[in-house]
Amino acid sequence: MEFPELKNDLLLRALRGEEVERPPVWMMRQAGRFLPDYRVLREKYTFFERCKNPKLVSEITTMPVWQVGVDAAILFSDILVVPEALGFEVQMIPGVGPLLPRTVKTLEDVQAIEIPDVEVALDYVMKGIQQTRMDLKGEVPLIGFAGAPFTLLCYMVQGKGSKDFSEAKSFCFSQPEAAHLLLQKITDITISYMKAQIKAGAQAFQLFDSWAGLLGPDAFMEFSYPYLKQIMAECTEVPSVVFAKGAWFALKELAATGANAVGVDWNCKPGFAREQIGSEKTVQGNFDPSMLHAPIEVIERETKKMIDAFGKDKYVVNLGHGILPSVPVEHAKAFVNTVKTYRAE
Amino acid sequence: MEFPELKNDLLLRALRGEEVERPPVWMMRQAGRFLPDYRVLREKYTFFERCKNPKLVSEITTMPVWQVGVDAAILFSDILVVPEALGFEVQMIPGVGPLLPRTVKTLEDVQAIEIPDVEVALDYVMKGIQQTRMDLKGEVPLIGFAGAPFTLLCYMVQGKGSKDFSEAKSFCFSQPEAAHLLLQKITDITISYMKAQIKAGAQAFQLFDSWAGLLGPDAFMEFSYPYLKQIMAECTEVPSVVFAKGAWFALKELAATGANAVGVDWNCKPGFAREQIGSEKTVQGNFDPSMLHAPIEVIERETKKMIDAFGKDKYVVNLGHGILPSVPVEHAKAFVNTVKTYRAE
């Protein structure tokens, strides 16, 4: 498919480590969370109606580009479409979160999982990507994404969100053989899924290991890292970001996955992140999402301070985790505009 | 009050940095969580009935000493007795967690809080300590505890448990004056509370900043650290532990609070923890509670590896967070026994 030519390529240049006038900015969960126009759509359609309708996907994905002026769009979707494609129904319970009635408890449960053809099972994602690329008119690049294998295992074992995913972790520690087989199956489908997203039109992608920080350093190297690395080794067609929230202890290893950039959360001081990730890789992060509730002058001051500390090159400005639904639009705009008017002193 | 003479003083010696034959071991949340005999009491009495009856407090507190053989007892109570004493009713909803119908949203809400005489408002805690000291017969020391001011603020603002306490953090960032006044009020009552616990018979104490890791380094230094330091400066009568879960970025500062020991969670490699905390302080931690679900031979191997890495002196063996209710008693015993039979090679 032919798409309109890209105008603002700041993100792609920053991910490739090229020199830029200023760092690009986007916000995790910018699509489908805090914008009032999104909340109108949420009243009219269920979560999966929104995810599976390419016109709605495009409308929600492009909304923060038109309304807040970010330098990249990230596809409106959910990491749990992969478990769903693997035969695990996902219910989104308003005010509670995801619920998976079918869960994994044993090796037999894992062996029973069949990997579908993602181009069929997740064709609605690819159609959403194509629609969005057309509608973006080349204004900014489109980022695709997937959940990391360990994070998806958490939901497939626990069956719902959790503060500590202790059941999922206990599954790994007590049945490592079953855990590794499950992680490999998720890895296999994720590689096909990312390749399909790229083929459909994703111009960069991010792998989200949202629950990596629940693991200790040894357990992370056993149950998460090898699978991140496999995915990064296979999906090299476009620039990539790996974000393992809470895995500050493995930033060096994450930089060695082959990803173009490593995301960091707000627990990491810029100096620590740079030192661990090295001067050759791009760093992405790490404004505390709760700080977008601070007065606008504080947001402006702290954002500027953050860019000064990370430096304008090999840096993508982002939050340290997803934007909160309660953030006023004017506050998000103040964050974005501070980056767009940034000049190094 | 005269209490029986202490027989096993390993914990106190390790906290004071003295040489020991082997490190002492206890487990966070060892009282009132995983033992079957506790679950019988839970069926008969509500949470606060258990907390407020000195005989039950003593029975639950001493249970892991008699049944699992830990080297210290920690008082059965809850960090939320302090908000309750400040006039914030706490309901414990089974399967959900704490619920505080009254919450703090504004400066006026903070100004309205009156600090009671803890010896009156929390006299049931002191009676529980005295009863427990008698019943322990000097077998092991009794640890008292309190929640850190930032962690208690989280509950008083948010009104319930939360994955990210974003409302509480947003309160800090958007209304720092109100936040600091609240933190100071909690600090004041906590100092009186710890002093009263020590006077009643607590032989050591731990300050739990369970949600410290939700803050970034700068925010931690603003909204948590100064208050931890005040408490540690005032409560020097017995050895102390400060445990700020997730605050790996501030271990150096935590070592400078004046606490005898710094607790670390399982994200921290032993070498990193030692390097940050320094060779003069005692370190406590950091077995992943989920790993107590692993087969017993794995628990034994990993526990031994952990002690080898931390070293037998200036070290208190513990979990990196509270024990899970689902842990089999035999697995907890394997953990404790591995420490008790440990000999450095």
Nearest to B38 by CA among B55, B60, B70: B60
Residue A95: per-residue pLDDT? 82
Chain-centroid distance of CA A333 in Å reads: 21
List, for residues B37-79, the tens digit of each pLDDT value: 999 999 999 999 999 999 999 999 999 999 999 999 999 999 9
Residue B345 in this model has a pLDDT that exceeds 70 = no
Q: A179 to each of A209, B68, B250, B278, B324, how far by Cα in Å?
A: 16, 30, 34, 37, 20
- CATH architecture of the domain A10-340 equals Alpha-Beta Barrel (3.20)
Of A173, A215, A291, nearest to B294 by CB-CB distance is A173
Decide: A243 and A263 in contact? Cβ < 8 Å.
Answer: yes
Token pair recorded at residue B26: 């206890």
pTM: 0.96
Q: Describe the crossing of helices B176-200 and B149-158 by its angle, rounded to 10 degrees.
A: 120
Question: Which residues in chain A have their CB less than 8 angstroms from residue B328's CB?
Answer: none
Q: B14 to each of B31, B90, B262, B304, B310, how far by Cα in Å?
A: 21, 36, 12, 18, 13
CA distance A326 to B179: 19
Q: Give helix then strand counts, H and E, for chain A.
A: 17, 9
Domain boundaries, chain A: 10-340
List, for residues B313-328, the tens digit of each pLDDT value: 999 999 999 999 999 9
Residue A96: per-residue pLDDT? 86
Decide: A182 and A110 in contact? Cβ < 8 Å.
Answer: yes
Percent of residues, chain A, with pLDDT higher than 90: 96
Q: Which parts of chain A have pLDDT scores under 50?
A: none
CA distance B4 to A306: 57
- Sign of the C-alpha dihedral computed for residues A172, B214, B84 and A161 taken in this order: negative
What is the least distance, in Å, from the CA of A243 to any CA of chain B? 17
Question: Which residues in chain A have their CB less than 8 angstroms from residue B276's CB?
Answer: none
CA distance A291 to A266: 10
User: pLDDT band for position B95 (50/70/90)?
Assistant: confident
Decide: B273 and B285 in contact? Cβ < 8 Å.
Answer: yes
10 Å Cβ neighbour count for B158?
A: 21
Chain A CA closest to residue B168:
A290
Inter-chain CB proximity A219 and B288 less than 8 Å: yes
10 Å Cβ neighbour count for B7?
A: 11
CA distance B155 to B104: 9
Residue A129: per-residue pLDDT? 98
Burial class (CB within 10 angstroms; exposed 0-12, middle 13-18, buried 19+) of A137: middle
Pairing label, strands B204-209, B91-93: unpaired
Residues of B with CB under 8 A from a CB of A: 161, 163-164, 166-167, 169-170, 172-174, 213, 215-217, 219, 246, 248-249, 266-269, 272, 286, 288-291, 293-295, 298, 320-321, 324, 326
Residue A344: per-residue pLDDT? 74
Nearest to A201 by CA among A61, A315, A64, A79: A61
Residue B1 in this model has a pLDDT that exceeds 90 = no
CA distance B223 to B219: 6
Of A174, A219, A286, nearest to B295 by CB-CB distance is A174
Substitution target from B170, B211, B223 for chain A, most A beta carbons within 10 A: B170
Of A269, A291, A326, nearest to B217 by CB-CB distance is A269
Chain-centroid distance of CA A211 in Å reads: 12
Pairing label, strands B91-93, B73-74: unpaired
What is the least distance, in Å, from the CA of A38 to any CA of chain B? 21
Decide: A157 and A148 in contact? Cβ < 8 Å.
Answer: no
Residue B96: per-residue pLDDT? 86
List, for residues B178-235, the tens digit of each pLDDT value: 999 999 999 999 999 999 999 999 999 999 999 999 999 999 999 999 999 999 999 9
- B302-313 average pLDDT score: 97
Inter-chain CB proximity B272 and A249 less than 8 Å: yes
Question: Which residues in chain A have their CB less than 8 angstroms from residue B169's CB?
Answer: 288, 290-291, 293
- B79-85 average pLDDT score: 98
